[in-house]
Each structure stands twice: as structure tokens, then as C-alpha cells.
A and B are shown apart, each in its own frame.
Chain A
Amino acid sequence: MISAYHLQIIILVGINIIMATSLNLITGFTGQLSIGHAAFMSIGAYASALVTLKLGFPFIASLLCGALVAGFFGILIGVPTLKLKGDYLAIATLGFGEIVRIVFLNLEITGGAVGLRGIPKITTLLWVVIAVLVTLFTLNRILKSRVGRAFIAIREDETAAESMGINTTYYKIVSFGVGAFFAGLGGGLFSHYFQYIHPGSFGFLRSIEHLCMVVLGGLGNLWGSVIGAAALTAIPELLRASADYRQLFYGAILVIMMRVRPQGLLGETSVSRSFLQGESILKRMNINKKSGL
């Protein structure tokens, strides 16, 4: 049997997989840098917890409710901000994240700084596994469709995408909405596992953590985000023994990654293409294939 401690880590890995893959849809596939993903998570966490606590919704309905409210806010903030590009969009999403946090800090219904307590512990490993599978299945299908191609086209060349008849504003908003929906789902699982949420649970640093998972695994690679989420959830725990140095290791891993493999572990292409064929690694080490390798 696995201990409660290990179970908690596995559940966190699952929630983070949902967070990282949904952020990858927005940032990695659609090319819209967002550093406010935790805000959507918090909206989902609060909304689902509130309908459970105040209205006695069944768990599935609460989760769905949290995801829908988060998705709605994704669309709502997408409309004004997605005309911005690059750094400007990043700053706008950062600002949005802070606004959401401060609103939760001041609202009475969300318990202010104290947060919400006594949320029933309904999230189990099985729920998390199902949610992760549903997320991966849905995102994968979207990405392999006409809609997904439109997302990637926007990332690759927005002007050309528009010339090919893609309403770029519309698809960016769709991407934000879908990404926020799943972030809200992750938030609902989170609040019903830890039973206690407060505005500080979903600060700026958590958004950065999600972004790190995406970057580590590889922008534009769904499976990369799965690995990135698992690694960046588990490694800090493994380093817990040397607690003082934990953040140091964590930072060092990211710096080394960016130096050695900026496209992330899985990069743009699949494992088989860039890793097994050893293409970029060999190039990086300046090994000439003709010299016997």
C-alpha cells in the first residue's frame, strides 16, 4: 500500500498534469504567453467548493461548475486582452491573476484572507486519474482537428493564418476558454482534496510553476507537459530531505534545461524524432556523423 504522503504527491502530480497541459494549449500550441493560469485554477477551486458547501451539489456537478465558471472567465478576459501580443499579453494575464487573487481576498462569500474551510474530501486517486484521462483525451482530440490546426497556425504565423481564413481573435479566445475550463477542473479537484483553500494558494508563483512545467516538458508537446508536471511536482518532494537547498536545485534544473535544451525535454517533435535519432543532442555536442557515429 502507498502511504498517505505518497498518495498526496501522486494526486498533486495528476492535478498539475491537468494544469500544465491546459496551459500548454494556450501558450505552447496557440502561442499566447499566459502567466495567470493559477487564477483560473482558483476560480474553479472556489466556485466548485462554494456550490458543494452552500448548495450541496454532487461532486461531478461541482467539478463541472468550477470548470465552466473558470472557462467563462477565460473567455471574458480573453476578449479584451487577446488583441495584445507577447510580453503585453503576459503582463495583462499577470495583472488578471492578481486581480482575481485580490477579489477573493476581499469577498465575503469566499471567506476573505481566511479562505474556505471544511470542504468535504471527495477527490480520490480514481477521480484524479479519470480527470487526467478526460483532459488528455479532449485536448489531444482538439489539437488533432481543424480547431487545433488553427491554434498552431496562429502560433506559427498569425498573418498567414488570417490570410488562410482563420479568425485569429476568435480562436485565441476559444483556446483561452478551453485552457481555463481545464484549469478550473484542476482547481475543483484541488479544493476537494486539501479541504481548505485561501487566496494565497493560487498566487503568482503557482502560475510560474505551471509555466515551468510546460517549458521543461516542451512547448507545444502535450506529453512533454505530462512529464514536466510529474518531474516538477515530484523532484521538490524528493529534495525535501535537504530542505534548505530545495529551491536551489529546482532553479538550477531550470537554468540547465534552458541552457542545454531550450525546446524542453520533448521539444516540438515527438520523442522518437528528436531524442532517439539523437539529432539535436549530437549536433549540440558537435559530433560529426561521418566520424564513425
Chain B
Amino acid sequence: MPSNNYILDAVKISRYFGGLKAVDQVDFFVKKREIMGLIGPNGAGKTTLFNLFTGHYQPSGGEIYFKNEKISGLKPYQITAKGLARTFQNIRLFSKMTVLDNVLIGRHTRTASGLIGAILRRPRDRREEAEARDVAISLLEFVGLEDKKDEQAGNLSYGEQRRLEVARALAAEPELLLLDEPAAGMNPQETINLMKLISRIRDEMNKTILLIEHDMKVVMGISERVAVLNYGRKIAEGTPAEIQGNEDVIHAYLGVST
């Protein structure tokens, strides 16, 4: 078991779908409090890697450690409880619920009321619910959606839905936040606001952030470190400047054979 200051450490992690090596022997780590970018052409295995980290897929080989504790093999809800939350590439909100309720669901792992509490509404259940509400509202203020709290999540604009997903993930009080293409479908102004938001999440909330993103302005603009996947393998890793000058990366993106 590795012991280091990496918040997330994947060792020789693989995931095969039949004969397809979606993720192949990837070593991957994220340092505490950094903003790290994960890029690669379509089908490179980025989202598969995310799904391995969050427990939605079980690895075909290799192990994943979160805060020096093995998490590969755990269920997604157990991993969330340990402090790792995510957003989805294709937004997955609870669209018929209100904006506020979406964020309240994010509080699930940080609250404890069960059936008895639901029916009796003891003082501590009321207190817990009130606290959850306060946290949820302050998170909605943080992402700028407080005036939409009673709307149905499905009625929000695309950019708002992406921000709501971020607020919902933050409600779980994660130490590591995984963002899967947070800028997809946003207009330039929304993208700039999103970049500011991501920086604030790290600076003001002390979170570590790993993001998949196709928008190079975003990745290169806010990441301190970038890793590149291609055909399930990690082909490069380094600062944005290093990555931009890396020949393998340029070839992977432009399709020139080496």
C-alpha cells in the first residue's frame, strides 16, 4: 500500500470491455489541493477512468487508493461517503425535483435521519434538516442559483444545470471533486464564469479538483497539471506548457502517425 501525500493514487489500473482495453495499466495520481486536468481524444478512456475512481466500474486490474485507503471494490455510495464526489458528462440531475432538493440530496451522506426520524420529526431531525437547508442554500448562493431554488431542476438552462450539478456534488463535502466536462455546451461567458467558479472551489473551499475537459482554454487556463490519455493509455503528464509542446500529444490530437 502506497503511503504518500497523494489524495488519489491509482496503481496500474485497467478496465477491459471484452477485447477493448478502455483503460490499460494507467498509473495516476492527484496531489492534495491541486487542480488537475485530464484530456484526450474521444474514446480515450477519460470517463471510464472517472467511473473507476467513483466505483461505477470495477477495475479489471490494479488498485485505487483515496487518502491512502483502498477504495477499489467499494460501491459508489461508499466512495462518496469517504469524500469523493462527481458531476456527469451528460448532466444527471433529478430533473423533476426542485433545485434546492437536488442539493439536499447531496447532503445525504452528511445527514443521518432515518424512517423513525422522518415520521416523528424529533428535535434533532428538525435541526439536521434545517442545517442541511442552510448548507444547501449557501451552496446555491456560491454557484449563483439561490433565486432559482424552488424551480424544477429540469427547467434550468444548460449552464445553470451544470452549476447545479457542481453545487449538488459540493453538498456531499468532498475533498476531491471530479468534474466531467463541466464546460460542455456553455457559451464563452458562461465558460469564463465556470473557470472562476472552479478556482474559487479550490481556493475558498480547499478542495482538490480533477476535471475532464475538451475546451483547451479551460484546461490549460486553470490546471496546474495535465494528464493525457489516448487509447486507454497515459501518454503524457506535466504542466500545461509541457503538454502543449509534447509531440505525442500533438500526434494523438491531430492524428499524425508517429
Contacts and interface: CB of A to CB of B under 8 A. Distances in A.
A156 B115 contact: no
A168 B97 CA distance: 18
For the side of the interface on B, what is the size category?
A: 35 or more
B94 A160 contact: yes
B106 interface: yes
Contact of A156 (B85, B97, B107): B97
B2 to A, nearest CB: 26
A286 interface: no
Contacts, number: 98
A162 B108 contact: no
Contact of B172 (A149, A161, A164, A220): A164
Interface stretch (A47-55, A83-91, A95-103, A139-147): A139-147
B113 A147 contact: yes
Nearest to B92: A160
A17 interface: no
A270 to B, nearest CB: 12
From A146, A147, A156, A165, name the one whose CB has the most chain B CB atoms within 10 angstroms. Answer: A165
B77 A142 contact: no
A201 to B, nearest CB: 30
B97 A153 contact: yes
A150 B115 contact: no
A106 interface: no
B117 interface: yes
B54 A150 contact: no
A144 B115 CA distance: 11
A262 to B, nearest CB: 15
B94 A142 contact: no
Given A142-B119, A163-B80, A150 B94 contact: no
A146 B113 contact: yes
Contact of B77 (A157, A167, A174): A167
A152 interface: yes
Interface of B: 54, 56, 75-77, 80-81, 85-86, 88, 92-97, 101, 104-109, 111, 113-115, 117-119, 121, 125, 128-129, 132, 168-169, 172
22 contacts: A138-B119, A141-B118, A141-B121, A142-B115, A146-B114, A148-B118, A149-B105, A149-B108, A150-B105, A156-B96, A157-B92, A160-B92, A161-B94, A161-B105, A163-B85, A163-B92, A164-B77, A164-B80, A164-B108, A165-B172, A166-B77, A167-B77
